[in-house]
Amino acid sequence: MPNMSLKKVKMREQAPDIRNGNFNEVALGYTAEEAVEEAARCLQCKNRPCTVGCPVSVKIPEFISKIAAGEFDKAIDIIKETNSLPAVCGRVCPQESQCEALCVRGRKGEPVAIGRLERFAADRSMEKPAAERNTAPKNGIKVGIIGAGPAGLTCAGDLAMMGYDVTIFEALHVAGGVLVYGIPEFRLPKEIVRREIDNLKILGVKIECNFIVGKTMTIDELFENGYQALFIGSGAGLPKFMGIKGENLNGVYSANEFLTRINLMNAYREEYDTPIKDFTRVAVVGGGNVAMDAARCAKRIGAKEVYIVYRRGMDEMPARREEIHHAQEEGIIFRLLSNPVEILGTEDGWVRGMRCVEMELGEPDQSGRRRPVPKAGGEFEMEVDGVIMALGTSPNPLISSTTEGLRINRHGCVEVDDKTMMTSRPGVFAGGDAVTGAATVILAMGAGKKAAVAMDQYIKAKNKQS
Amino acid sequence: MYRIVEKRVLNPEVKLMKIEAPLVAAKAKPGQFIIFRVDNVGERIPLTIADTDPERGLVTVIFQEVGASTMKLGSLNEGDFIADFAGPLGTASHLDGLKKVCVIGGGLGCAIAYPQAKHLHRSGADVDIIAGFRTKELVILEDEMRENSSRLYVMTDDGSYGEKGLVTAKLGELLESGEKYDAVIAIGPLVMMKFVSLATKPYGIKTIVSMNPIMVDGTGMCGGCRVTVGGEMKFACVDGPDFDGHLVDFDEAIRRSAIYRAQEREAAEKHACRLRGGDGNA
């Protein structure tokens, strides 16, 4: 008998006024009993609408039925058939616009908590040592993956399972990409990322850190070293600034720098050497998930007041509802329909405030959202000593500028064939944010997966010819 | 892990290390830099490459112990390993076609000016070097610079060695006496580079400076290293570190270099204390 409750089984969380003073995970996960109870809400629909919404096609009803039956090991095996980073996806996927958006239970009441169940199964399996998985016999063919973020890690895992000799080249000193430098500990504990990466190493994937493709070696030099195919998953790492006066004052950060200092370099922990500025009042400019992450981090390192300054309204915010909700609970103040026009400095060059203009919403623009236009006479000043620019990012030109014949579009994104994921350079594939511009972890993983299949086909076809 | 193959103390404040990093050694060109991390809790710190030995896979860095990370690095010895060493980063200096050049190094800046002078000298250019130091005991790389130049002028602030005075005084003297340079390359403290650029401007001499701002990743990701050049925002890590000295906003760069000064001082004191084995009250 399914559980007909209209609501999801609640997941325990740290209380807002406690958690905004620490970096521990906010959401605490389901117990076995809670997971079984929630799993029983799944109706096991024959036409499986939820699976259509998943970029990596997780067999959702199947794994949920195993949780309902208490067979947790089998549940995670089913997930891992198509998803190599389930503990990550269970936490950071926007399920509300993917699998859960299509859940039949969501028509009346809340959908099944697919994300929480995925997280439960993944966390549960991590309590035990990782077992060697069934993989194809090793074929000795070298393939290279550029960037150890979600796209690259997924592509690497799938190719390793097919038997390839896979090496990942990572520019930073640890693997994980945005999962380690961008998404904060309280949303995605780094220990979880480390364990997912350890699982890839068990599959035989090699990871070369401190290796900047385009600088340490070029794409052409990698081919000379015997790689049969390459995948570019270098993400979208370049920060944007507004181009307004005062942006180079001391105390203005890109969200990338601010989050990297905190997440990757552990600036908030006493035993680490990396410094970060002590703010009192901070304005975070932007309305995406990165803006929410930056604001919540600023609060946690001790800022008394943290503002989100966004030029459109709440409905237009690109951040996940859950992230906005968490930020509000933690005391982040939202200054909507406000656009910075100048950052004000002290005589010796430190931020002392920000001048903004009030906005109102006009006609819809290309994105379908109503375009914000400045209101006459709507200027106001905010007193802040820190400003964090979270305006989005674009792909890094380090690879495209050193690879002849690699076509990019006017946004700096690598162009690929939609079906094969191959770039204008034969044997060079690409996916994730490097191709789409900044998007989600799961879309990057989906692209990495698709590219792995295409790379396998490409190598097989090439070797047949010769 | 990257092995320290050789360590030399150049003066009481400055050390030289040759680090085993074959991939970096094979690719590095004058003007490029690396990022190192001593250990797993260390910062990512940029250092300009002073020299390479591709055959032995060695990269030479020369550094001053100014903060916790460089103090930690300086406390290591030959045979020890550091956690990370990534590069070569940044755009190489454009030195082609220069026939007569004045290379100016200020203090530690000589460590970076030297490879540029060497490259130019070996490719047949007429190279004058002006090397400035605070005092005699801080003079570094004198023989190396002399070997790789037509003329070497050593200057000290207190006159304890070479000529007394600032590098800009010597530069002014040379320019006034009618020396014609295709370019002036100035590497050293921001204030020195600022005044060298001001001195060359009336003569219209192309002036190249090397910026070394605060950065995290060194690949264009953090934007912490932004400098204003000709009114435009540039990232020193990818667009530089070399820029046209006549276009750089030095006052802004000087201000930005001080962002973490208070924290750095605190960290350095804590570290010095740990090195001495003190309990913080020493």
How confident is the model over A382-438, as pLDDT tens digits? 999 999 999 999 999 999 989 999 999 999 999 999 999 999 999 999 999 999 999
- Write out chain B residues lying below 8 Å of A265, CB-based: 43-44, 216
Q: Which residues 124-163 of chain B have a CB within 8 Å of chain A?
A: none
Residue B282: pLDDT over 60: no
Partner residue facing A271 (CB), from B37, B41, B228: B41
Residue of A nearest to B22 (CA): A216
Best CA proximity match to A55, nearest among A438, A441, A418: A441
Q: Which residues 215-254 of chain B have a CB within 8 Å of chain A?
A: 216-217, 219-224, 226, 228, 233, 238, 252
Average pLDDT over residues A444-465: 94
User: The tokens of A140 are what?
Assistant: 């000795």
Give me the half-sphere count of Cα atoms (radius 13 Å) on the Cβ side of residue A369: 13
A243–B89 CB contact, under 8 Å: no
- How far is the C-alpha of A319 from the C-alpha of A96, rounded, in Å? 12
User: The tokens of A5 are what?
Assistant: 């409750």
The number of C-beta contacts closer than 8 angstroms across A and B is 108
Q: What is the DSSP code (8-state) at residue B224?
A: T
- Report the DSSP beta bridge partners of residue A359: A374
3-state secondary structure of A297: helix
A257–B256 CB contact, under 8 Å: no
Does any CB of chain A come closer than 8 Å to the CB of residue B169?
A: no
Q: Which of A242, A274, A351 to mutate to test the interface with B (most CBs of B within 10 A)?
A: A274
- Write out chain A residues lying below 8 Å of B259, CB-based: 250-251, 277
Task: Give B45's pLDDT tier (boundaries 50, 70, 90).
Answer: very high
B223–A256 CB contact, under 8 Å: yes
Does any CB of chain A come closer than 8 Å to the CB of residue B267?
A: yes
Say which residues have a Cβ less than 8 Å from residue A71's Cβ, sequence separation at least 6: none
- Write out chain A residues lying below 8 Å of B258, CB-based: 250
Residue B279: pLDDT over 50: no
- How far is the C-alpha of B48 from the C-alpha of B210, rounded, in Å? 9
pLDDT tens digit string along A50-97? 999 999 999 999 999 999 999 999 999 999 988 989 999 999 999 999
- Report the DSSP beta bridge partners of residue B192: none
Q: Which of B36, B84, B216 to mutate to test the interface with A (most CBs of A within 10 A)?
A: B216
Task: Note the pLDDT of residue A84.
Answer: 84
Task: Note the pLDDT of residue A399.
Answer: 92
- Write out chain B residues lying below 8 Å of A254, CB-based: 222-224
Residue A135: pLDDT over 90: no
Report yes or no: B111 and B140 within 8 Å, Cβ to Cβ: yes
- Write out chain B residues lying below 8 Å of A212, CB-based: 86-87, 89, 219
Residue of A nearest to B92 (CA): A215
- Write out chain B residues lying below 8 Å of A398, CB-based: 219-220, 238
Residue B96: pLDDT over 80: yes
Task: Note the pLDDT of residue B21.
Answer: 98
- Write out chain A residues lying below 8 Å of B261, CB-based: none
Residue A457: pLDDT over 50: yes
The one-letter amino acid code at A58 reads V
Does any CB of chain A come closer than 8 Å to the CB of residue B261?
A: no
Residue B165: pLDDT over 60: yes
Verify cis geometry, omega within 30 degrees of 0, for the bond prior to B241. Answer: yes
Residue of A nearest to B2 (CA): A210
Average pLDDT, chain A: 94
Residue A143: pLDDT over 80: yes
Determine the distance in angstroms separating the CA of A263 from the nearest CA of chain B, rounded to an integer: 12
Task: Note the pLDDT of residue B265.
Answer: 79
| DSSP-assigned states of every residue in A120-155 | HHHHHHHTSPPPPPP-PPP---EEEEE--SHHHHHH
pLDDT tens digit string along A322-337? 999 999 999 999 999 9
Does any CB of chain A come closer than 8 Å to the CB of residue B172?
A: no
Task: Note the pLDDT of residue B266.
Answer: 79
Task: Note the pLDDT of residue B278.
Answer: 43
What number is the ipTM of this complex?
A: 0.91
Per-residue b/e over A361-384, b at no fewer than 16 CB within 10 Å?
beeeeeeeebbbeeeeeeeeebeb
Average pLDDT over residues B248-258: 95
Partner residue facing B42 (CB), from A212, A248, A273: A273
Residue B7, classified by CB atoms within 10 Å of its CB into exposed (0-12), middle (13-18) or buried (19+), is middle
Average pLDDT over residues A149-170: 96
Beta strands, E only, A287-369: 305-309, 333-335, 338-345, 351-364
